[in-house]
Amino acid sequence: MPLVPLPERPLFSILMTNYNYAEYIGQAIESVQQQTYTHWELIIVDNGSTDRSCDVVEPYAQSDPRIRLIRQLHGLGVGGLNRGYRASAGHIVCILDSDDTYLPYKLERVLENLRRNADAGFLMHRELRIDSAGRLIGATPLLGRINSGWFGPEAICQGSIPSFAVPETALCLRREVAQRIFPLPEHPFCAADVFIVGIAPLLTCVAGVNEPLSSYRTHSRNDYNRPGLTLDSFVHMSTLMAYGNEAQRRYIATMHPELHRFIRERPPSLRQLTIEYICLRFARNDDYRAVHATLVARSEAAVKTRTTYYLFWRYSVYLPLPAFRFAVRLLLETGRLKRVLWLIIRHVYDK
């Protein structure tokens, strides 16, 4: 889609929803106030918190006219984002979860990258991972890179883009693109990041930034990053992906009838097959063998080189269940060994 040139000093609209994160939301707000780029508005929608969240936010909103607090009695997180978006006016729309923080130069770097990539209406960046006390424990993605470019055909054929999924705090949209995506579906299984990453690459080029620009806080109340990868967590991932794919299909139906007919017969993505295979194995369901055969066949067609990752999934079917569980957690969790490796690589890179 066409994008008009950004003005000399564009306004950033930062959307934040909150529910009972009084212990973190002050840090989130202050991370916006500490930005090196100062032309922004922060719209905070509180979804009926029962803790001191609004008491924490009010002094910031009273002392800084760029901050607005909107209270609603209850609602889903995506509903709060929709309400915040309707109240926003920025040329660039960003999201900040109330338990996360921006690094001080985030908005400045986002603007620099969008100016360099004038055809990109969607930006994703790397995030640091911190624990509940704010200690550094890793990054997302940990070792790989976030891709840039036009991924419309891949998004249509595969259901996703060849890049790493990042949380919503690492997503930024030009206003023209946000207008085509909002309002987000207000559904219990609509994750804002899954929906946006599924739709935005159909509309515009992607700018991938591999510099960390925010911090994602991992703690016991995270929806998707609770300690340990269990059957329940994989079932939840599978449900979110299934809803995200269906939402993408419905959206494409409004764009182009022929494309809609095409994707109705689109086979499951490798990511979907992988999660389904894990769920079936963890649940001791013998149907995992048929899914594994499909996964291997699809991987052979999609993967040009026999990577270690590919080889693991190909031969994992022969692992006893305890060994399979251990290997999956070692591969997919951000464990201590991966964090140490990442810190070494980061140290060498910084040198």
- Read off the pTM: 0.84
Domain annotation covers residue 342: no
Residue that finishes a domain, picked among 182, 217, 252: 217
Helices (H), the chain: 22-33, 53-63, 77-86, 106-116, 152-158, 175-181, 192-203, 231-255, 257-264, 270-282, 288-302, 308-315, 321-332, 336-350
Average of per-residue pLDDT across 333-339: 64
Question: Into how many domains does the chain fold?
Answer: 2
Domain annotation covers residue 237: yes
Distance from chain centroid for Cα 52: 27
The closest of 189, 197, 173 to 76, measured between CA atoms, is 189
Highest mean pLDDT among 40-54, 241-255, 324-338: 40-54
Looking at the structure, tell me whether residues 100 and 150 fall in a common domain.
Answer: yes
Looking at the structure, tell me whether residues 133 and 261 fall in a common domain.
Answer: no
Looking at the structure, tell me whether residues 18 and 131 fall in a common domain.
Answer: yes
pLDDT of residue 134: 84
User: What's the chain's average pLDDT?
Assistant: 86
Kindly report the CATH number assigned to the domain that includes residue 211. 3.90.550.10
User: Taking a C-beta distance cutoff of 8 angstroms, is the pair 247, 161 a contact?
Assistant: no
C-alpha radius of gyration, the chain, whole number? 21
Encoding tokens for residue 87? 């109240």
Residue 56: which residues within 8 A CB-CB, separation 6 or more? 22, 25, 26
Looking at the structure, tell me whether residues 213 and 235 fall in a common domain.
Answer: no
Residue in this structure with the two tokens 């080889």, named with its chain if needed: 311
Looking at the structure, tell me whether residues 57 and 148 fall in a common domain.
Answer: yes
Residue that finishes a domain, picked among 161, 193, 217: 217
User: Taking a C-beta distance cutoff of 8 angstroms, is the pair 21, 222 a contact?
Assistant: no
Q: Which comes out higher in pLDDT, residue 142 or 16?
A: 16
Average of per-residue pLDDT across 236-250: 80
The CA distance from 86 to 31, in Å, is 23
My answer on whether omega of the bond before 141 falls inside 30° of 0, hence cis, is yes
pLDDT band at 351 (very low <50, low <70, confident <90, very high): very low
Looking at the structure, tell me whether residues 250 and 118 fall in a common domain.
Answer: no
Q: Exposed, middle or buried by CB within 10 Å (0-12, 13-18, 19+), for 50?
A: exposed
Looking at the structure, tell me whether residues 267 and 198 fall in a common domain.
Answer: no
**Among 118-132, 153-167, 308-322, which stretch is predicted with the lowest mean pLDDT?**
153-167
pLDDT of residue 226: 47
Domain annotation covers residue 346: no
The residue segments making up the domain with residue 322 are 231-332
Looking at the structure, tell me whether residues 23 and 130 fall in a common domain.
Answer: yes
Domain annotation covers residue 226: no
Domain annotation covers residue 33: yes
User: What is the DSSP secondary structure assignment for residue 6, as one 8-state letter?
Assistant: P
pLDDT digits (tens, 9 = 90+) for 133-187: 888 877 887 767 888 999 888 777 766 665 556 788 999 999 999 999 999 988 7
The CA distance from 162 to 198, in Å, is 12
Looking at the structure, tell me whether residues 211 and 66 fall in a common domain.
Answer: yes
pLDDT digits (tens, 9 = 90+) for 24-59: 999 999 999 999 999 999 999 999 999 999 999 999
Looking at the structure, tell me whether residues 152 and 109 fall in a common domain.
Answer: yes
